[in-house]
Amino acid sequence: MTPRLRHPRILPASWLSVGLSLVLALLLIGAGSARAEIRVTDLSGREVVLEQPARRIVLGEGRHLAVLGMLHDDPVSLLAGWRQDKGLDPATFEAYLAKFPALADVAPVGAGNRLLSVESTIALMPDLVLLSLMDARDPQMEMPLRQLEAAGIPVAFVDFFTAPLENTLPSLRLIGQLTGAEAKAEEFAGFYRDHLDNIRLKLKAAQPAPPRVFIHVHAAPSNCCATVGPGVFDEFVEAAGGYNIGRDSVPGVMGNVGLENLLASDPDVYLATGGAHMKARGGLVLGAGIDDDVAAQSFADLLDTPGFADLRSVREGRAIGIWHLFNDFPAHIALIEALAKRFHPDLFPDLDPMATMAEFEDRFSPVEMTGSYWTPAE
């Protein structure tokens, strides 16, 4: 018996349309799923992969809450836990607590000496742990990092401290990618570049002689004098057109110089750093919540100390006090302007670092940053 040939069934055009739509929808869903994965390289060179933007973050440094605040209107809502080491200054903490009462319930995951409790961290079930690049280089962090990796908790390293001019924007962009705030990160990048380029271009064109600057960190009348070599404040001084003479005597990030050596070095500018933490030591008091008069008086008292008062830079009015916590916060762009204006007043008569700070607060801080951040204030 000859088999009957079956003709292929021709589907109605409407059916074909429906089928194609279903296929297209499935392809789009697959593409959307692929795009939902976040894959970035952190500041230590490690790949970090998230399935979606992080919403339960553990901060390795409490002060980086202010960095999250640059990108999110309610950064505390993203905070599952934080390490108390290197926390916010008291006035900034109180400002965040007043606006975001949930901050009081954020779990601690470690305290001094850069200790991180892995057990406490894992118990919080975070979808991201943000650590400093210093943690990546710290031998005591090797075991905690292995344990977090074994628990499947993503860790990303950022840096606003060791190489601020090189790493601030990459770090902020990284956090923006990991938390779904890329647009805000790019907004700040434009703000930062515009202000920094204005200084760099004028310095490059004029090529003024850089003043020799001594940086006295955590400045107090006694136990003179802690200072810095390459990195951190050294980069701010260089960006503003100065030269940090600590480079000549301090091989690492931090070191000490005796008062006799300081007097012998005869710097063109004496630059002191301070903060609310220096009040107990009778040192330079500056920062959030500090009145200009209080800052000015603490600086005057410091400069009246025998030894400091004998410096040529102090006698001739070339002494500057600055907030120490600019050393780990992207608002340092305003500090660079303040230094450039003082190092090269004829080159930068129109710079207004106070206006830059005000714009930073308006655009990139969820809390008020009222305070005294350098002195003299003008």
Determine contact, residues 96/68, Cβ cutoff 8 Å: no
pLDDT at 21: 39
Residues in the chain: 378
Share of the chain above pLDDT 90, in %: 80
Distance CA 59, CA 175 (A): 12
Tell me the C-alpha distance between 111 and 102, whole Å: 20
> Which tens digits make up the pLDDT trace of 105-161?
999 998 666 688 999 999 999 999 999 999 998 998 999 999 999 999 999 999 999
Match domain 210-375 to its CATH number in 1.10.3720.10, 3.40.350.10, 3.40.50.1980, 3.40.920.10: 3.40.50.1980
> How confident is the model at residue 113, as a pLDDT?
63
Residue 36 pLDDT grade (very low, low, confident, very high; cuts 50, 70, 90): low
Examine the pLDDT at 35 and tell me if it is beyond 90.
Answer: no
Cβ proximity of 164 and 232 under 8 Å: yes
Structure tokens at 323: 């907030």
Statement: residue 31 has pLDDT above 50: no
Task: Count other Cβ atoms within 10 Å, centred on residue 120.
Answer: 15
Query: Who's near 338: CB < 8 A, 6+ residues apart?
Result: 320, 322, 353, 373, 374
From the list 173, 183, 137, 151, the residue with the least C-alpha distance to 40 is 173
Q: What is the pLDDT of residue 115?
A: 80
What mean pLDDT is reported for the chain? 89
Give the C-alpha separation, 310 to 312, whole Å: 6
pLDDT at 29: 41
Q: Where in the chain is the domain with CATH 3.40.50.1980?
A: 36-180, 210-375
Lowest-confidence segment of 33-37, 41-45, 200-204 by average pLDDT: 33-37
Q: What is the dihedral of CA 83, 44, 89, 355, to 10 degrees?
A: -150
Backbone dihedral angles phi then psi of residue 8, each to the nearest 5 degrees: -60, 140
Integer Cα distance of 66 and 70 in angstroms: 6
pLDDT of residue 2: 41
3 state SS of 256: strand
Cα dihedral 298, 84, 288, 297 in deg (nearest 10): 0
Pairing outcome for strands 47-50 and 38-41: antiparallel
Pick the CATH number of 36-180 from 3.40.50.720, 3.50.50.60, 3.40.50.1980, 1.25.60.10: 3.40.50.1980
- Long-range contact pairs involving 141-148 (C-beta distance under 8 Å, separation at least 24): 141/114, 141/116, 144/116, 144/118, 147/118, 147/122, 148/118, 148/121, 148/122
Q: Which residues contact 171 (CB under 8 A, 6 or more apart)?
A: 43, 67, 158, 159, 160
Q: Which of 163, 162, 121 is nearest to 145 (CA)?
A: 121
Q: Which residue stretches of 180-208 are H helix?
A: 182-206
Question: For 209-246, what is each residue's pLDDT tens digit?
Answer: 999 999 999 999 988 999 999 888 999 999 999 999 99
Q: Assess whether pLDDT exceeds 90 at residue 272.
A: yes
Name the region of 226 (left: φ>0; alpha: ψ -120 to 50; beta: rest). Answer: beta
- pLDDT tens-place string over residues 292-302: 999 999 999 99
CA-to-CA distance for 48 and 63, rounded, in angstroms?
A: 22
Which of 100, 104, 167, 157 lies closest to 128 in space, CA to CA?
Answer: 157
14 pLDDT tier (thresholds 50, 70, 90): very low
Break the chain down into helix, strand, coil percent, rounded to 5: 50, 15, 35
- Return the pLDDT at 4: 41
Find the Cα–Cα–Cα–Cα dihedral 328, 281, 212, 210, rounded to 10°.
40
> Rounded CA gap, 181 and 377, in Å?
34
Q: Residue 3 has what pLDDT?
A: 41
The Cα–Cα gap between 325 and 286 comes to: 9
- Helix (H/G/I), strand (E/B), else coil: 107: strand
Q: What is the pLDDT of residues 339-372, one digit of tens each?
A: 999 999 999 999 999 999 999 999 999 999 899 9
